[in-house]
Amino acid sequence: MSTVLADLFATIVSRRAQPTPGSYTAELFAAGEDEIVKKVGEEAIEVVLAAKAQGDDRLVSELADLLYHALVLLAARGLTLAQVESELQRRAAH
């Protein structure tokens, strides 16, 4: 597991358990799962747009946003990054 992703996910889980005033992550959790899912969708669209016409730097930035929001969704559902890694490993074995 990437240390950066693991550390980010740990921070996200922490913000869910102990909301920090002014934290965007805490605000997302407070807004609820529908808002989190909406953000994942928006970021996915932005990834596609960046890939088609906005250059590699913008693509990387938008992918980072998408990964972040996907991790927030995982935490909101009580799922873990390790579960996603296990699924990827399962797929690689086939």
- Look at residue 1 in the predicted model and tell me its pLDDT: 55
- Closest Cα to residue 84, out of 29, 2, 11? 2
CATH topology of domain 3-92: Helix Hairpins (1.10.287)
- Look at residue 94 in the predicted model and tell me its pLDDT: 86
What is the per-residue DSSP string for 3-22? HHHHHHHHHHHHHHHSPPTT
- Look at residue 60 in the predicted model and tell me its pLDDT: 98
d(CA 2, CA 64): 14
d(CA 81, CA 9): 7
Domain chopping of the chain, boundaries: 3-92
pTM of the model: 0.93
**pLDDT tens, residue order, the chain (94 aa):** 579 999 999 999 999 999 999 999 999 999 999 999 999 999 999 999 999 999 999 999 999 999 999 999 999 999 999 999 999 999 999 8
- Residue 81 tokens read as 């990054």
- Look at residue 51 in the predicted model and tell me its pLDDT: 98
Residues 6+ apart with CB under 8 A from 62: 43, 46, 47, 49, 50, 54
